[in-house]
Amino acid sequence: MRTFRTLAVLAASALLLTGCAQAERGPDKDGVVRLRFQSLAWQKESVAINKQLVKEWNAAHPKVRIDYVQGSWDSVHDQLLTSFEGGEAPDIIHDASDDLADFSYGGHLADLTKLLPARLKADIPQRSWDTTTFDGKVYGVPFLQEPRVLMANEKLLKASGVRVPTPEQPWSWAEFRQVAKKLTADMGRGRYGVAWPLKEPVSAALNLGLSAGGELFGRGSDGKVKIRFTDADAVVPGTVRAQVNTDGSASAATLGMGGSDTLPGFFGGKYAMVPLGFSYRQQIAQQAPEGFSWKVLPAPAGRDGLAQGVSPQTLSVAEDSPFKKQAVEFIDFFLAPDNMTRLAKGDWMLPTGEKALKDPSLRTPEDGWATGAALAAHLRSAPAQSVRGYPEWKDKVATPAYQEFYSGAIDEAQLRQRLERDGNLVLARYQR
């Protein structure tokens, strides 16, 4: 026991010294402040835009230099956790809002509330700031967001004669189910009205469920979160299950697929519609065979209209950074309206900034940009945004429960029991 305690003290001392070194970091001998910006951009065009903006900043600010660091979405959470604990975190951190809660509560991210310039605060609507606000403090700047939409085979839609939805007159969830049945019947054996790629089933159920009034997570007067699966929460998963197991209008084979896995079948006419993130338009535009005609449709609407949960991409500042003011100044430059538009186009996503969203290039019917722009006002903070313990609940409880429900292995009552009983046990550990 003594050896263990000694080692623990030595480890803690090492971390403390590393943290002190980080905090004491100052300008170099030429008076130049250097900040590390870790970007998670991965598409060729997006990486190029990120690097170009860094280059433009450095040319205009010789005394505050930004060093571009390439990160990866696949490993960012564990990588950041290690860098925080070792006192080596980048100054400016690119992440997603649903990954910020534990880092914020853990004291690893700077509170930006008083550092944000008025221009930036005013340009991004409060519904977006809500995604990065924990206990009344802002820990990130949300700048790109991605609604789920329906990618549809335009030729099959026209041939079936179904009503084509618009953001002003979307399908209800019930109408969507009927349309999928009709498309399946019209297309013939072995072909389906819809393919649900639900390798990661939880976020789809939660975020689309907002349209039906579902929330799943409720916070009591004591501030603690509890899971309560209501009839509203059952609308979206119930639709998927019915399409797969009752109507035969959705392929069971796609339930374990990722979005990209369904595209060959979509191009080949096996699936008339595929619910996907907005950025998948890029893959479709680049990979679709010649002559393939496709259309972006809004996701179905429920009791609360087109409301949908999102977890925007974010920029945060490390609490240990001694250059918080300069870091926020770079973020303000990086997310100026014209620059935010460039970033959105590079990632095929929607900007959160209202000025950027008004850019004509993001309002064109081409590639469904106009449909996405019309959905922006309906996007809300994802239900699990500030729930501590959500990653464990998602991986250990919710994902297998939803998968079994969609396959028909368990019914709705059993799904409710699994999500509530087992889920609340997980969350309780994080809220003691």
How does pLDDT run across 129-144, given as a tens digit for each residue?
999 999 999 999 999 9
**Nearest of 353, 410, 307 to residue 124 by alpha carbon:** 353
Which token pair is 251? 């392929």
Distance between CA atoms of residues 34 and 53, nearest Å? 16
Alpha-helical (H) ranges within 348-420 are 354-357, 369-375, 390-393, 399-407, 412-417
Task: Report the pLDDT value the prediction gives residue 24, as an integer from 0 to 100.
Answer: 57
Task: Please tell me the predicted confidence (pLDDT) of residue 12.
Answer: 42
Instruction: Give the model confidence (pLDDT) of 375-431 as tens digits.
Output: 999 999 998 888 888 889 999 999 999 999 999 999 999 999 999 999 999 999 988
Chunk the chain into consecutive blocks of 10 residues (it has 432) and report each block's average pLDDT, rounded to whole numbers.
37 42 62 95 93 98 97 93 94 95 92 97 97 95 98 96 97 98 91 97 96 93 91 98 97 96 97 98 96 97 97 97 97 98 97 98 96 96 86 94 96 97 94 82
Planar angle of CA 364, 365, 369, nearest 5 degrees: 70
Largest interatomic CA distance in the chain: 77
Q: What is the pLDDT of residues 42-70, one digit of tens each?
A: 989 999 999 999 999 999 999 999 999 99
Average pLDDT, the chain: 92
